[in-house]
């Protein structure tokens, strides 16, 4: 069975005020003392108000869900020790006062010198899904075939509509913020792994990016593990939301590998159409129309069903059909994280949004 792993980033906020709290190092240290947390499962991020967790390699979606819930509870308990809460939101719903300091690492200090205002606004939090591939060449075949589905995933995972206490009008404002880095957005089409590596070396040689970690494409090859890493998703409010995406992404990757093995050519979707489709997805989430992989403007629900049908055989082979299908049905019925944030904002204001997200963080 193809293995999968998930990384999630969370915000730390003061329990009393909802303001960003720069306690990531203390929270990480406290969470790491838990007897059921491994040292490398909780990491620091760019800003001192962010914490990242990473699951072990998982074979089943039940494993993914169990590990994520375990890690979320560990971080949430550690945060409480310092008067904080964790928020699984794609971007900080409220930003007040001075900017949060960067984590004291040479890499992050260099990023601050390079792009101070962008770093100051980088209170963004993603969910990254890693799916194992047998080789870099196979990984590039997968990247070329999943590109048209990245906007659909982005729309489904939209969970960042608010900024500084107001509605941005975008379901995933994180997508727009993150797209301002030099190497970002949907990755280009690559001839093969040699082409991928040569183009990455060329980018590095310019000095505009310092390392391969700054390849902020929404999908890329992982340099540390033999995986394809899909990065387009906002962090999800609940654990089972994340489980759904782990299943869908694994399904897309397995479907792409099967298509490559069968000799089916990768789609040659134009970069301008993909960019437009991604903007549309970030703007509306599932509340409007989307651009499907064929370039047609369709109802969002119809494009989601296209995706489920596309990965159907892969879901069946992995034993994920029932679980993923039920979670997709709930998503279409109840809306995205962005929809939920807006509903709560209209009823109770920004403070109620903070409460909802903090409570959702430790729900199954």
| CATH code where residue 69 lies | 3.30.590.20
The answer to whether residue 263 sits within a structural domain is: yes
The answer to whether residue 364 sits within a structural domain is: no
Q: Which domain holds residue 144?
A: 4-357
At residue 307, φ and ψ (nearest 5 deg) are -65, -45
Instruction: State the average pLDDT over residues 81-104.
Output: 89
Instruction: State the average pLDDT over residues 207-232.
Output: 96
The answer to whether residue 52 sits within a structural domain is: yes
Residues 319-334 have pLDDT tens digits of 999 999 999 999 999 9
The answer to whether residue 363 sits within a structural domain is: no
Q: Which of 53, 102, 48 is nearest to 75 (CA)?
A: 53
Given a cut of 90, is residue 302 above it in pLDDT? yes
Q: What is the model's pTM?
A: 0.97
The answer to whether residue 333 sits within a structural domain is: yes
* Cβ contacts of 199 within 8 Å, gap of 6 or more: 188, 190
DSSP assignment letter at 294: T
At residue 285, φ and ψ (nearest 5 deg) are 60, -130
Residues 22-61 have pLDDT tens digits of 999 999 999 988 888 998 899 999 999 999 999 999 999 9
**∠ Cα 21 176 132 (to 5°):** 85
**Helical H runs in the chain?**
24-32, 61-81, 106-114, 116-120, 136-146, 150-156, 173-178, 193-206, 239-261, 271-284, 300-310, 312-318, 321-334, 337-361
Q: In angstroms, what CA-CA distances link 155 with 104, 111, 274, 307? A: 34, 28, 13, 12
Given a cut of 90, is residue 364 above it in pLDDT? no
Long-range Cβ pairs for the range 283-286 (8 Å, 24+): 283/169, 283/170, 283/171, 284/155, 284/171, 285/155, 285/156, 285/158, 285/171, 285/172, 285/336, 285/338, 285/339, 286/155, 286/156, 286/158, 286/171, 286/331, 286/332, 286/335, 286/336, 286/339
3-state secondary structure of 207: coil
Is residue 146 within 8 A of residue 132, CB to CB? The reply is no
The answer to whether residue 362 sits within a structural domain is: no
How do 184-185 and 216-217 pair as beta strands? parallel
Instruction: State the average pLDDT over residues 65-90.
Output: 97
* Cβ contacts of 364 within 8 Å, gap of 6 or more: 65, 69, 238, 239, 240
User: What's the domain count of the chain?
Assistant: 1
The pLDDT of residue 353 is 96
The pLDDT of residue 35 is 83
The answer to whether residue 223 sits within a structural domain is: yes
The answer to whether residue 103 sits within a structural domain is: yes
Query: How confident is residue 164, by pLDDT bands cut at 50, 70 and 90?
Result: confident
Structural tokens at position 338: 């962005």
Residues 228-279 have pLDDT tens digits of 999 999 999 999 999 999 999 999 999 999 999 999 999 999 999 999 999 9
Structural tokens at position 230: 């899909």
């Amino acid at each position: 069975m193809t293995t999968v792993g998930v990384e999630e980033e969370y915000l730390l906020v003061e329990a009393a005020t909802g303001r960003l709290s720069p306690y990531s190092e203390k929270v990480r240290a406290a969470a790491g003392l838990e007897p059921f947390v491994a040292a490398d499962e909780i990491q620091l991020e760019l800003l001192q108000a962010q914490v990242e967790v990473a699951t072990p390699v998982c074979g089943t979606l039940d494993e993914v869900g169990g590990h994520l819930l375990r890690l979320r509870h560990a971080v949430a308990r550690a945060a409480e020790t310092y008067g904080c809460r964790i928020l699984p939101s794609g971007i900080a719903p409220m930003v007040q006062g001075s900017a949060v300091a960067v984590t004291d690492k040479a890499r992050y200090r260099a990023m601050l010198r390079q792009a101070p205002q962008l770093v100051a606004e980088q209170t963004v939090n993603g969910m990254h899904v890693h799916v194992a591939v047998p080789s870099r060449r196979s990984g590039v075949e997968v990247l070329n075939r999943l590109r048209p589905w990245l906007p659909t995933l982005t729309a489904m995972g939209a969970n960042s509509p608010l900024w500084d206490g107001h509605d941005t009008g975008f379901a995933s404002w994180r997508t727009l913020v993150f797209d301002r880095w030099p190497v970002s957005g949907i990755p280009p089409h690559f001839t093969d792994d040699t082409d991928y590596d040569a183009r990455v070396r060329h980018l590095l040689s310019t000095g505009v990016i310092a390392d391969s970690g700054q390849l902020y494409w929404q999908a890329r090859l992982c340099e540390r593990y033999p995986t394809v890493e899909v990065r387009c998703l906002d962090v999800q409010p609940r654990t089972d939301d994340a489980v759904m995406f782990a299943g869908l992404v694994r399904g897309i990757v397995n479907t792409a590998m099967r298509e490559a093995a069968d000799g089916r050519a990768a789609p040659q979707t134009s970069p301008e159409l993909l960019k437009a489709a991604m903007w549309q997805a970030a703007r509306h989430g599932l509340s409007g129309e989307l651009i499907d992989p064929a370039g047609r403007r369709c109802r969002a629900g119809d494009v989601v069903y296209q995706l489920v049908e596309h990965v159907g055989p892969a879901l069946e082979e992995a034993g994920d059909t029932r679980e993923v299908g039920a979670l997709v049905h709930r998503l279409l019925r109840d809306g995205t994280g962005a929809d939920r944030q807006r509903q709560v904002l209209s009823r109770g204001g920004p403070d109620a949004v903070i409460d909802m997200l903090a409570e959702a963080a430790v729900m199954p």
